[in-house]
Structure formats: structure tokens, C-alpha cells
């Protein structure tokens, strides 16, 4: 109740103060720049806010016409002039183009905005609102126009517009760049697809070439083996001819002995058939002594024994040659004896090395090895023959050693030959590389040996010193997974090779 009374009292105080103020005081105290003209276009009111905004004192404006010159620098009507002349709807567009509109709050009022470069130091943007003034009878007595400085807003709008334009330009530029990049990407994708297609084609060609190369390698392997066997053919023939020679010689003697025995037997038969007297035995005794029947009885078994040994040697050489070449077997993985392979190979190449070096075997205790024995024999033969060729004119030694290391076995071929120079060493496994004279070597022996050992998932190590000799060590796994058996996927079986 007390607060209500205080409000009413304050209301009466404010009302009293307002009653004491006249209209001019309200107009002059308005913070909005305002100007009023009468029907003769003469300025009747021009408040303090107008003076501050336009920079022109009131006494230079009030009582005068031509308000437009203040804004535009030339004689032209402002919106208040057009309202007084009732010409707003007919000619306002000539002066304000599309920068005016009817007020949404005051009837018959208009709003417009414009830039005035002669106001202030850098010009100003102003927002105008003009409305007619009428007396109590509704008659037009003048017009009122308010001015607001919207320069800051316009600067912000311009800056915003500029930023928007820059953003739009940037977006357009980025869009164009993205479109270009997208086009380039499409080209790159197509180019990549073409490259991938070409790579697939090349890969197919490489696979085809690889297959051909594999076939060629197998052919070279076979050719090298045939060439090696061809080089050894004379030696093998010599080895066979020696035992066959004394077999023929012994059998020649046997034929003579046989004739003597038959002659003796014929004499006995004749004697027994024609004469049974003791006196007739004397010729037989003399004939027995002449033919050395007692000697023959001792010599014939010896000859037969030598003949059997010679025949067995021939058979052993043929068997070893067959075991070396494995001409009647497939390239399948088998559990094989490296010692048996070494012995059979050394027997085959015996004629190649027996005049050059002594072979010293130092076999260790090793198990059967999972391998293709005919190919391991090929490696052994190449290493042994190379060792014999490395030995000079003086007789040397070739050591053959075997041993086991964990899950691997190893075999060594060491010679007391000339050794391998350092500049040659990096190329010894290259195909077709040879230091032998033309026609004496194909350059495939060590290369094919290296390939065979790699296919067996092993490795070859070499130690050499010029003037002292060379040692090759071949390491092979005792067993390896079935999926790694590249020659055949059949079950591994023991071999008598």
C-alpha cells in the first residue's frame, strides 16, 4: 500500500515537470537529429542533434529554404520537400531510385538512405524518415524529417559484403580447384587403371617368361648333366675297359687251359677205352707233367676269381653311373643317404680325379636326408670336378667331409689347389661365367649347383685363399615342410639311391 502511494506521488511530480516543458524543449532535447519545414519549404525547426550530425549551426538553417543543398551541394528537394509538394508518389523514384520505401509504422511516411561525401571528414551514410505534419483540421502544414547516422553500420555491411564476396570468390576458386583436382584425379585413376592393367599384362608375361625360364633352367640342368656325363664318358669307358681287358685275357688263358684239360681227358678216355695195362700209364703221366695239370688245378680258380671281381667292378661302375643319373626315377623327394650318393658320384668321376689328387673321406655320423638325390649328386660332381681342376700339375688332395649341425647336415669339398682370386669370387655363381678356356667349360656348373641347393632350402658357403685352396660347404635341412617341396607333393619315401 505504501509503495503504491509513492508511485502515484512520483507520477504527479513527473507530470508537473512535463507540463512546465513546451514542445520546443522536447524537440530541442531529442537525441535524434530532426528538421521541420513548412509548406513554403522554409526550415522552421532544426534541433541540437542536427547541428552535431550535420556540422551546421541552427541559425544558418532556420528561416531558409533549399535544405537539399546542405546534403547534396546543389539545389534539389529532400523527402520533406516532396511530401510538402505531395509529389512523393510521382517523382520520388527519380531522386532516390530504389533506395526508398514507405514507412511500416507511420502512415504517409517514407524512409530512405544515402551516402553524402560532403558530410564529415570522410563522408557519412544517413537514414532518413520523412512524414507530413497536419493541423487539427487535417490540413498539411509542413513536414518533419529525422536523420540517423548509419555510417558504422554501412561500413560493417560493406565489410561484411566484401567478406562475403571474398568468401564466395574463395569458394568459387576452391570449387574450381576441386573440380580441376577431381578431373585430374579421374585422369589419375584412369591412368592408374591403365597402369594396373598393363602391370597385370606384364605380370602375365613375366609369369609366362618365368615358366619358360624354369623350363629352360631344367633343360640347362639336364644339358649340363649330359655334358658332364659326356666329358666323363671316356674315363668311364677306360674304367670299364681295364677290368674287361683282363677278363678277356683270363678267358683266353682259360680257353687254352680248357683245351689242355680236354686233351688230357681225351687221353684218359682213350686209355681207359683201349688199354688197361699199367705200362700204358706212363704216357699219361708224362702228358700230365707236360700240361702242368697240378698247376692248372691251382691257377684256374684264381683266374675265375679275378674274372668275377672284374665283372663285379664293371657292374658296380654301371650301377653307380645309373645311380648318379637317376635316369629311371622321377624328381621326387626321398629320404636318401648322402654317403651313398658321395661314393657313387666319386666312383663315376674317379677317372677325372685319380691322376690329379688323392680323395680323403672324413664322413661323420649323419641321418638320411630329404632330397632329390640325383640333383644332390649333380652338386657333388660339380664341386669335386672343380676341385680337381683347381689342382695344379703337382698331385694334390681333395677332402670330402660330412657332419650334422642341429636340424641340418653339411658336406664339404676342400682342395689344395690354386684358390679363387677376390675379384672373381663375387661372380662364381653367375650363369655362363667360367675362367676355363673356350670349349672347356659351360659356366653353368656352380650356377646350377647354387640353384639346386636353394631349391633344397639350403645354402652354399665358400672359403678360399689364393695359393692354398678352396673349401665349399653345402648345408641342407634334414627335413622340411611338405608345402616347400617344389618338385613333387607326394609322400616322402626312403630311397636306396
Kindly tell me if the per-residue pLDDT of 393 is higher than 60: yes
pLDDT tens figures, 343-362: 888 887 887 788 888 899 99
Mean pLDDT of the chain: 76
Residue 404's pLDDT band, with cuts at 50, 70 and 90, is: very high
Architecture of domain 328-497: 2-Layer Sandwich (3.30)
**pLDDT for res 422:** 80
Give the model's confidence band at 16: pLDDT under 50 very low, under 70 low, under 90 confident, else very high. very low
Average pLDDT over residues 428-457: 67
| Residue 265 predicted with pLDDT over 70 | no
- Which is higher by pLDDT, 226 or 32? 32
pLDDT over 80 at 417, yes or no? yes
What confidence category does residue 375 fall into, taking pLDDT thresholds of 50, 70 and 90? confident
Q: What does the alpha-carbon distance between residue 323 and residue 330 come to, in Å, rounded to a whole number? A: 12
Given this model, what pLDDT does residue 490 score?
39
What pLDDT is stored for residue 495 in this prediction?
43
Residue 327 confidence (pLDDT):
44
Render the burial of 50-68: b for 16+ CB within 10 Å, e for the rest: bbebbeeebeebeeeebbb
Averaged pLDDT for residues 326-350: 76
Question: In whole angstroms, how far apart are CA 267 and each of 255, 264, 283, 289, 291?
Answer: 18, 5, 9, 14, 12
- The CATH number, out of the four listed (3.40.1280.10, 3.40.190.10, 1.10.3720.10, 3.30.450.20), of the domain defined by the range 2-149: 3.30.450.20
Domain ranges of the chain: 2-149, 328-497
Block residue for cell numbers 700209364: 281
Per the listing, cell 680325379 goes with 353
CB atoms within 10 A of CB 74: 8
Could you check whether 2-149 and 328-497 share the same CATH topology?
A: no
Location of C-alpha cell 660332381: 381
Rounded to two decimals, the pTM is 0.41
pLDDT band of 402, cuts 50, 70, 90: very high
**pLDDT of 412:** 92
Residue with cell 555491411: 157
Burial of 35 (0-12, 13-18, 19+ CB in 10 A): buried
Rounded to whole angstroms, the Cα distance separating 455 from 462 reads 18
Amino acid at each position: 500500500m505504501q509503495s503504491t502511494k509513492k508511485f502515484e506521488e512520483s507520477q504527479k511530480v513527473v507530470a508537473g515537470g512535463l507540463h512546465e516543458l513546451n514542445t520546443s524543449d522536447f524537440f530541442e532535447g531529442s537525441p535524434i537529429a530532426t528538421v521541420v519545414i513548412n509548406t513554403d519549404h522554409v526550415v522552421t525547426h532544426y534541433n541540437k542533434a542536427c547541428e552535431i550530425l550535420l556540422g551546421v549551426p541552427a541559425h544558418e538553417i532556420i528561416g531558409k529554404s533549399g535544405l537539399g543543398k546542405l546534403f547534396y551541394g546543389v539545389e534539389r528537394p529532400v523527402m520533406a520537400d516532396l511530401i510538402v509538394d505531395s509529389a512523393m508518389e510521382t517523382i520520388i523514384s527519380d531522386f532516390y531510385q530504389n533506395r526508398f520505401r514507405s514507412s511500416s509504422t507511420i502512415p504517409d511516411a517514407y524512409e530512405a538512405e544515402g551516402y553524402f561525401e560532403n558530410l564529415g571528414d570522410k563522408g557519412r551514410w544517413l537514414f532518413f524518415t520523412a512524414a507530413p505534419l497536419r493541423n487539427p483540421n487535417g490540413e498539411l502544414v509542413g513536414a518533419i524529417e529525422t536523420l540517423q547516422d548509419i555510417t558504422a553500420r554501412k561500413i560493417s555491411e560493406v565489410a561484411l559484403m566484401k567478406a562475403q564476396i571474398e568468401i564466395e570468390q574463395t569458394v568459387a576458386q576452391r570449387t574450381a580447384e576441386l573440380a580441376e583436382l577431381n578431373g585430374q584425379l579421374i585422369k589419375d585413376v584412369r591412368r592408374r587403371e591403365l597402369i594396373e592393367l598393363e602391370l597385370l599384362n606384364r605380370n602375365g608375361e613375366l609369369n609366362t617368361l618365368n615358366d619358360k625360364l624354369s623350363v629352360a633352367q631344367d633343360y640347362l640342368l639336364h644339358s649340363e648333366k649330359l655334358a658332364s656325363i659326356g666329358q666323363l664318358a671316356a674315363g668311364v669307358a677306360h674304367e670299364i675297359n681295364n677290368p674287361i681287358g683282363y677278363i678277356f685275357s683270363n678267358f683266353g688263358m682259360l680257353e687254352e687251359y680248357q683245351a689242355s684239360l680236354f686233351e688230357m681227358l681225351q687221353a684218359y678216355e682213350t686209355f681207359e677205352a683201349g688199354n688197361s695195362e699199367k705200362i700204358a700209364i706212363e704216357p699219361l703221366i708224362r702228358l700230365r707233367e707236360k700240361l702242368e695239370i697240378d698247376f692248372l688245378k691251382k691257377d684256374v680258380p684264381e683266374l675265375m676269381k679275378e674274372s668275377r671281381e672284374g665283372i663285379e667292378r664293371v657292374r658296380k661302375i654301371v650301377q653307380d653311373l645309373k645311380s648318379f643319373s637317376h635316369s629311371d626315377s622321377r624328381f621326387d623327394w626321398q629320404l636318401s643317404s648322402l654317403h651313398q650318393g658321395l661314393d657313387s658320384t666319386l666312383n663315376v668321376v674317379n677317372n677325372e680325379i685319380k691322376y690329379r689328387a688323392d680323395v680323403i673321406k672324413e664322413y661323420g655320423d649323419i641321418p638320411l636326408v630329404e632330397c632329390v638325390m640325383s640333383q644332390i649328386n649333380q652338386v657333388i660332381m660339380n664341386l669335386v670336378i672343380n676341385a680337381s681342376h683347381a689342382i695344379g700339375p703337382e698331385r694334390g688332395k681333395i677332402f670330402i667331409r660330412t657332419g650334422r649341425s642341429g636340424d641340418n647336415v653339411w658336406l664339404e669339398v676342400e682342395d689344395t689347389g690354386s684358390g679363387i682370386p677376390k675379384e672373381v669370387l663375387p661372380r662364381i655363381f653367375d650363369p655362363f661365367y667360367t675362367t676355363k678356356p673356350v670349349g672347356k667349360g659351360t659356366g653353368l656348373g656352380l650356377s646350377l649347383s647354387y640353384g639346386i641347393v636353394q631349391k633344397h632350402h639350403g645354402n652354399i658357403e665358400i672359403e678360399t685363399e689364393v695359393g692354398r685352396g678352396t673349401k665349399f660347404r653345402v648345408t641342407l635341412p634334414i627335413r622340411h615342410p611338405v608345402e616347400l617341396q617344389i618338385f613333387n607333393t607326394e609322400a616322402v619315401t626312403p630311397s636306396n639311391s
